[in-house]
Each structure stands twice: as structure tokens, then as C-alpha cells.
Structure 1
Amino acid sequence: MKELIKNIKKEIKENKTVPYLGIGIFKNVKTKEGEQMPYDSDSLILMMNNGRAMSPRLMYEFSRAAMHLEQRRGYEYIQQLTNWIYSKPFEPTEIHKEIVNLNPKYIIDTNRDSKFQELLLDVEHILIVGKARILDNDYRYEIYKFDIQTKQYIKTDDEELKNAQKILFKPMGSTLPKPSFIISDADYVDWITEVMGGFAVPAFLKKYRKGKKYLFLGADFSKDTERMVANELTLDLDGGYYVKEPPLSKKEENFLKRHNLTHIPISLEEFNKYFIKTSL
């Protein structure tokens, strides 16, 4: 295991493997007030619904639950609710910090918090934030350049990506620079439709990602939406690693086989310990 982890870290540092983070990285992560952060679909639904479970149909996946709440209370409500959840004060995890220390050029973070952004306050970087249901154009992202002098994000265009030293892709949105999230079924349908049409990933990244491997941390490919998002974001991949304690569902097994992913059959908590302690 130690040699495998060492090799993965080396690949990340050399920009051969791209870190890809999902909601599972927040297991055992608590806010400064001691509240557990959502770490899977069920816990996110419970936080969205004041700790109450919803019907089995809605509990199937958080995007369904979010769609139900949006239909009842409106689009702005679910956006504000998501911002409330992910704006809660908590520290970046050790895995966030270790990935930043490895200094990869490209990170994909499908979570909606700003922890990576907080760790990059002294680093020039380009932020790509996924968008949904935009009326004035087909593109489903916005690009920002971070100014380390003013500590502000400045909206820019695709051209900045060509010379970027670091790119943080937040395809499902972020609390910063302004709260905007892909969270409900309607958001995902719009985003996935446009990404399949080529409008949700900048052209530069379509070229850059060819032949890359991915380290999937906290992703859950038993969930249909997560598989679809990962499939579209990592086209042209050259394999990679999926960290998850067994057993895997049939859907997960098929996804791993189709994308030539190596299953690392340990808990994310155990993997993180190895990952943080293993030196290059």
C-alpha cells in the first residue's frame, strides 16, 4: 500500500494524475460549532430538511430532494439553503492541505465549499465555477482569475487558462466568489445536457485532460448522477484510482471496468492516513 500511495502522490506532483474530490471527504468533519458536515447523499438531504428524513423516492438521491424543495419554495430558496450549508465555518481537511502541498496544476472538486480556495489565498490560480440554467448563453461555467494582492476573484475568459499555473475546477458550484450551485435535478439535467454538447468544460481542459489519470476521493459511483458527472469531466482518461471500502455495487464495478480504474479497497479515512504520512 505504501508504494502505491507513494506512486500516486508522485503522479499528482508530476501532473499525470488529477485529484477528483467528492462529498465523502467530509466524513467525520465537523463545523466549529460541532455540527457534522454532510458527507453523503442521505446526510445532505437531512441537513436540507431540518434533520427530517423525506420519502423513500426523494431519499434516493439528494438532487431529487433538492428539486422537491425547489418546487415547493423556489429556486432562490434552495440556492440560499445550499450556501448556508457550505458557508458553515470549518477547517480544510488534511487531505485538502496535502493535495495543495503536492502543487498539482489541475484539481477537480465536485463539492460546493471554498476550502481549496481558502488554501490558495497566496497562490495565483484560475477558478472555473459550473453554472446551470443560464438564459443568455449555452456555456455552463464562469472563469475567474485570483488576484493575490487584493485577494479578489476577477471574472475573465478562456484565454487565461492557456498560461495558468494552477486551475481549480468547481463544476457543481462554490460559495465564492458569489454563491452559485448545481444541486437540484433541474440543475443537473441542464448541466449534463450542455456538457454532452461541449458547453460545460472549457476547450483548454478538453485538450489538457487527454491521457490523464484520476484519483477519486470521496466519490460514490453507486449514485447515477455522480457517475454521469465523472464520466463527462474525465473523458479521454487513462485510468486512475477509486478509493472505497468494499463491497462495490454492480454499477460501480461496471464503471471501474469501463474506465480502467484501480479499486483501492480501504476506507477513505484509512487511505488519508497513508496519503498524508507517506513522503516522496
Structure 2
Amino acid sequence: MSETIDIETTIETIKKEIRNQTTVPYFGLGIFTGTKTKEGEQMPYDSDSMILMMNNGRAMSPRLMFEYSRAAMHLEQRRGVDYIQQMMNWIYTKEFAPTPLHKAIVDMLPRYIVDTNRDAKLQELLAFEPHCLIVGKARILNNDYRYEIFEYDVENKKYFQVEEAALDDAKKILFKPMGSTLPEPSFIISDADYVDWLTEAMGGFAVPSVLKSYRKTKKYLFMGTYFDRDTDRMVANELTMGLEGGYVITDKELGKKEKKFIEKHNLEVLEMSLDEFTKAFV
């Protein structure tokens, strides 16, 4: 019973920290576990399901099934960059509802949210209030920076590109480092995309300077985020540099590399499924 009380207390603490802007919500692919489109298709919620969706429901070789970025690179080499970008847009423009966690987090009015998914559900939920959107980019010519910044015009329901200074006074900031379907489809998905983004991220060019200051000493709530692959660990490390600690929701047995990452970043593991967490949180 004491463990249950501890988890309940921790969840209440997390809610308070999100409301007072000390903990930053961080969404990963697992947020879509159990999420289906209006046609009844399962949305990708892990690496395997992403590969199956990209490859018309067919499994690929064990080497390619290891990680979806590797599978995407294979498809890109065979069919071209445009093909894989259009495939991502097709997947994430399917009709499906925002998850209860999406809604609950937005209702808590955090100033800053990190969403490593490629859909626009959080943008839809924020469509009635001014906000700034940062979209990650890869393989941009003649530019070291790996993002573009947009401001949302509530009256006209559209985004327009702005300079970084717009982030200074922004009441809400949504960071989509791996891309989004809006304002125009653009995605970081293949190995080549990730290599380019991470290379520039390590040079300091993937996160706006305003956020580099703002994110210091923040905690993060990792929801649906897996740390069993190098890519996801490296992305999380770059996006949360200077963090104070945080929380990971998982009921899976952690591997050696996951444990090392969690210990290094001073993260507290809530040993429960995302579904159980959602019910307790919402």
C-alpha cells in the first residue's frame, strides 16, 4: 500500500511542477499505444509498428527491423527522400483523436512542451491560443541551424515564420524537434536525417539560444519515450541539456544502457504502464 501512496504522491507532485513550469512535458512515440485512426488502424507507437506502417504492413529484414530510422534510410535509398517524407505525412495526417494525456498536459498550461512525435495533435489543441512553434529540420543547405520558428495567428488560423526573438516573450512554446505535418510537412526520420541533426545539435545549432537558458535546472516528464536505442538517448540528451532530473514512465524491464542513461540524468522511474499513469494522472 505504501508504494501506491508514493506513486500517487509523486503524480500529484508532477502535476504541480508542470503547472509551476519546473517540469517540462516530453512526449515520445509510446504515447500512441492503443491509439487508433478513425478507420481502425493502429498508430505507430514503437519502432516495429512504425516500420510496419512505413512498409505497407510488411516486416523487413532483422537488420532493418532493429530501428525505424534504419528502415527509413533503406526506403529512402530505394525510393528517394520525397517518398519517405510523403509516407510520414500520409501516416500522421490520418484522422485520429488527441490522447487523454495530450489534453491533460495542455490543460495544465505549461509554457514549454517537447514533442518528439511527428503529428500535429498538440498544435490542434493549441489552435485557440497564441503560441510559438519550433520545428526541427535536417539537411538544410547553407545553414547550420536545424530548426525554424513560427508564430501562430489565432485569428487567421495559420503559422508565419519569425525570428528567434519572438520566443523571448512567448507564453507558450511547442518544440517539435523531429518535425510535423504543419505548417508544412517536414520530418526527421531516416539515419541520414538523424546524423545531420545530431551533428549540428552537438555543435549547439539544434536548439534556439532562448531555450538553452530557459531549460536550465528544469525537470522532464518522459511519456512514451524509450531509451533502449542510441538515437533516442542522444536526442533526449541534446534536448534536455542542463536538466535537474525528472521522471520516466515505464513498466518494461530496463536494459543496461537504459539504466545508465536514467542514472546519469537523475531520472526517477515510475514503474507503471502509460495507460495506468494516464488513468492516475487524468
TM-score range, shorter chain: over 0.9
Aligned to 2:94: 88
Aligned to 1:100: 106
Aligned to 2:234: 228
- 1:28, distance to aligned residue in structure 2 (A): 0.4
The residue type equivalent to 2:262 in the other structure is: L
| Selected match of 1:154 from 147, 156, 160 | 160
Aligned to 2:72: 66
Is 1:207 paired with 2:205?
no
- 1:270, distance to aligned residue in structure 2 (A): 0.5
Is 1:23 paired with 2:37?
no
Write out per-residue CA displacement over residues 177-227 of structure 1, whole angstroms, 9 at most, x where no aligned residue.
000000000000000000000111000000000000000000000111110
Aligned to 1:251: 257
In the aligned structure 1, how far is the partner of 2:142 from the partner of 2:164?
A: 18
- 1:2, distance to aligned residue in structure 2 (A): 1.5
TM-score, reference length from structure 1:
0.98
| Selected match of 1:239 from 245, 261, 278 | 245
The residue matched to 2:152 in structure 1 has which SS?
strand
The residue matched to 1:65 in structure 2 has which SS?
helix
In the aligned structure 1, how far is the partner of 2:172 from the partner of 2:268?
A: 26
The residue type equivalent to 2:163 in the other structure is: D
In the aligned structure 1, how far is the partner of 2:15 from the partner of 2:232?
A: 24
Aligned to 2:49: 43
Is 1:131 paired with 2:137?
yes
In the aligned structure 2, how far is the partner of 1:184 from the partner of 1:199?
A: 19
In the aligned structure 1, how far is the partner of 2:14 from the partner of 2:127?
A: 26
Aligned to 1:183: 189
In the aligned structure 2, how far is the partner of 1:157 from the partner of 1:181?
A: 21
In the aligned structure 2, how far is the partner of 1:93 from the partner of 1:70?
A: 30
In the aligned structure 2, how far is the partner of 1:13 from the partner of 1:165?
A: 13
Name the count of aligned residue pairs. 276
Write out per-residue CA displacement over residues 94-115 of structure 1, whole angstroms, 9 at most, x where no aligned residue.
0000000000000000000000
The residue matched to 1:176 in structure 2 has which SS?
coil
The residue matched to 1:133 in structure 2 has which SS?
coil
In the aligned structure 2, how far is the partner of 1:9 from the partner of 1:122?
A: 23
Write out per-residue CA displacement over residues 217-249 of structure 1, whole angstroms, 9 at most, x where no aligned residue.
000001111100000000000000011113111
Aligned to 1:2: 8
- 1:173, distance to aligned residue in structure 2 (A): 0.0
In the aligned structure 2, how far is the partner of 1:192 from the partner of 1:183?
A: 12
The residue type equivalent to 2:106 in the other structure is: V
The residue matched to 1:194 in structure 2 has which SS?
helix
The residue type equivalent to 2:92 in the other structure is: Y
TM-score, reference length from structure 2:
0.97
Is 1:267 paired with 2:276?
no
The residue matched to 1:163 in structure 2 has which SS?
coil
Note the residue ranges of structure 1 that are not aligned, 5 or more in a row: none
Aligned to 1:141: 147
In the aligned structure 2, how far is the partner of 1:208 from the partner of 1:248?
A: 30
- 1:274, distance to aligned residue in structure 2 (A): 0.5
The residue matched to 2:174 in structure 1 has which SS?
strand
In the aligned structure 2, how far is the partner of 1:188 from the partner of 1:224?
A: 11
RMSD after superposition: 0.5
Aligned to 1:217: 223
**Runs of 4+, deviation exceeding 2 Å:** none
In the aligned structure 2, how far is the partner of 1:231 from the partner of 1:222?
A: 13
